[in-house]
């Protein structure tokens, strides 16, 4: 059956074949015709505006002890289920933002609710260790069974962390260690280096930098924030190192109609990046590595071509610096592969891949040659949380059992085609449809329009997010299915028709 958008309704999945990142052969799209979580609402139900009176009351109470004006509404996590988030006023909303893209398999998934049923799992939760000094006997095997089972191809070293920011911070350290180790040519630290670093002076504290890109977002701790260039409010009033920043491609859409212009944009941006790296030594602040997102999410869902990412890797190899791909928001399957950079046909694996969000734990994968040669250099009290690995293990097994990457690809096709259809019918409001899997976005003609559309979508029971200047970004869970996509598309059409 088709709706008036010409989209396939519940259960009628398109027959496609795609190569999954975790499979060795093409896998057919799922034919799942029921929700992955029993009891999930069949559609949104709205009882009042959002935020409603209970949310407003709770925010007033919270504001007495904490400044958190960013709160949209308060959720009822006992009642939230699957793809639906329920607020404290009883509104059941289709969640296409999922805690800023950090809910992998929906709310209250049975596999996660039962993850701590065993006494041994509960003891892991209760007795949280300082993993860098007192790990449990099974820790190395847990890292192999869970973290390395999901590792990007070619990377066999992993360190867990608490969040995306600290993952990037420690990745930057590995970049700098490599550079300084090469300069020292294998010698040990000098007394002058050891003494001067204690007062943040050279030579022990060298003047080094990381190259990042306009529109990127990599965290809110100091070095990560220095590499963040998405919104001024993240950075203003904070002293930061004066590290270089270059241009990330800004493409013209549709891509197939702007091939020459977009190739020129790739060439321009690659030339700028190489120029910055080549000149950094002469400027007195050598670049030791490059950090880049596969899709600049917070900055506006800007995509880069295979040529762009391949070219960056070649430049990093040419100058013997580290190539870091920040998969904090794209990792864990939302693009239809476990890692978005798997789409790019890179010559070799990145040197480092950082992660968090849908992976439930922060951390970094990296190549063996980046291992620090001394202890305590990549360290904090927790170095992650083994309880998160118990949850991630359940997530990864669910992804495999239910072929959620296949589901994401199939649903993403419907979501993207529906957005393109709406763009063609409402060109005065919408432009630049783009996406991989269900990691999709579309621009409104103005930021004010985007904000109005998001507010009206929420009033109709769809919770989506914004990013950049005027983009609507979609970040559903991996259990988001074709009929969920069609609910969203119909609600978006309703909002656009009322503009």
Instruction: Report the catalytic residues.
Output: 217, 326, 357, 381
Long-range interactions of 47-50: CB distance < 8 A, separation 24+: 47/89, 47/90, 47/91, 48/89, 48/90, 48/91, 49/459, 50/87, 50/89, 50/91, 50/93, 50/458, 50/459
Structure tokens at 181: 């180790």
Token output for 113 = 């609710």
Return the residue matching tokens 């992650």. 384
- Confirm if 265 and 250 have CB atoms less than 8 A apart: yes
Instruction: Annotate 135-149 with b (16+ C-beta within 10 A) or e (fewer).
Output: beeebeebbeebbee
Sheet strands side by side (includes 471-474) = 430-436, 439-444, 471-474, 465-467
Please name every residue paired with 17 in a beta bridge, in sequence order, or none if there are none: 28
Strands 352-355 vs 465-467: parallel, antiparallel or unpaired:
unpaired
The total of other beta-carbon atoms located within 10 Å of residue 420's CB is 17
Terminal Cα-to-Cα distance of the chain (whole angstroms): 28
What tokens appear for 395 in the block? Answer: 């997530």
Distances (CA, A) of 274 to 178, 280, 436: 20, 10, 28
């Amino acid at each position: 059956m088709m709706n008036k958008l010409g989209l396939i309704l519940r259960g009628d999945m398109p027959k496609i074949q795609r190569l999954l990142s975790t499979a060795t052969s093409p896998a057919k799209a799922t034919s799942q015709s029921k929700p992955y979580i029993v009891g999930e609402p069949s559609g949104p139900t709205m009882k009042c505006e959002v935020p409603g009176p209970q949310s407003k009351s709770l925010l007033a109470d919270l504001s007495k002890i904490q400044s958190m004006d960013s709160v949209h509404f308060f959720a009822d996590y006992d009642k939230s289920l699957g793809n639906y988030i329920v607020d404290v006023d009883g509104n059941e909303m289709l969640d296409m933002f999922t805690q800023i893209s950090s809910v992998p398999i929906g709310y209250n998934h049975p596999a996660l609710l039962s993850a701590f049923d065993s006494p041994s799992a509960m003891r892991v939760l209760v007795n949280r260790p300082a993993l860098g000094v007192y790990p449990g006997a099974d820790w190395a095997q847990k890292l192999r069974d869970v973290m390395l089972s999901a590792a990007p191809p070619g990377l066999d070293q992993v360190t867990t962390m608490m969040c995306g920011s600290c993952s990037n911070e420690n990745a930057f350290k590995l970049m700098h260690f490599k550079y300084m180790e090469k300069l020292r040519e294998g010698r040990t630290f000098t007394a002058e280096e050891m003494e001067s670093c204690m007062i943040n002076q050279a030579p022990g504290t060298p003047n080094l930098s990381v190259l990042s890109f306009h529109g990127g977002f990599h965290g809110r701790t100091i070095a990560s924030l220095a590499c963040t260039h998405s919104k001024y409010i993240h950075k203003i009033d904070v002293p930061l190192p004066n590290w270089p920043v270059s241009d990330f491609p800004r493409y013209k859409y549709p891509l197939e109609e702007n091939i020459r212009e977009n190739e020129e944009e790739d060439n321009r941006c690659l030339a700028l990046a190489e120029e910055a790296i080549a000149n950094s030594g002469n400027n007195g602040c050598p670049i030791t590595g490059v950090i880049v997102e596969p899709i600049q999410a917070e900055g506006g869902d800007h995509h880069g071509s295979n040529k762009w990412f391949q070219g960056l890797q070649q430049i990093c190899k040419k100058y013997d610096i580290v190539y870091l791909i920040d998969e904090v928001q794209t990792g864990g399957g939302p693009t239809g592969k476990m890692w978005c950079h798997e789409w790019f046909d890179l010559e070799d694996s990145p040197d480092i891949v950082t992660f968090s969000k849908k992976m439930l734990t922060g951390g970094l994968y990296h190549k063996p040659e980046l291992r620090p040669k001394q202890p305590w250099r990549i360290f904090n009290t927790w170095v992650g949380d083994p309880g998160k690995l118990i949850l991630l293990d359940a997530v990864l097994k669910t992804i495999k059992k239910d072929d959620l990457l296949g589901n994401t690809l199939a649903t993403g096709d419907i979501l993207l085609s529906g957005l393109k259809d709406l763009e063609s019918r409402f060109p005065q409001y919408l432009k630049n449809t783009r996406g991989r899997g269900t990691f999709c976005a579309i621009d409104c003609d103005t930021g004010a329009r985007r904000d109005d559309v998001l507010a009206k979508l929420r009033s109709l029971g769809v919770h989506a997010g914004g990013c950049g200047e005027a983009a609507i970004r979609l970040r559903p869970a991996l259990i988001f299915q074709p009929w969920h996509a069609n609910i969203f598309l119909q609600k978006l059409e309703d909002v656009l028709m009322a503009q």
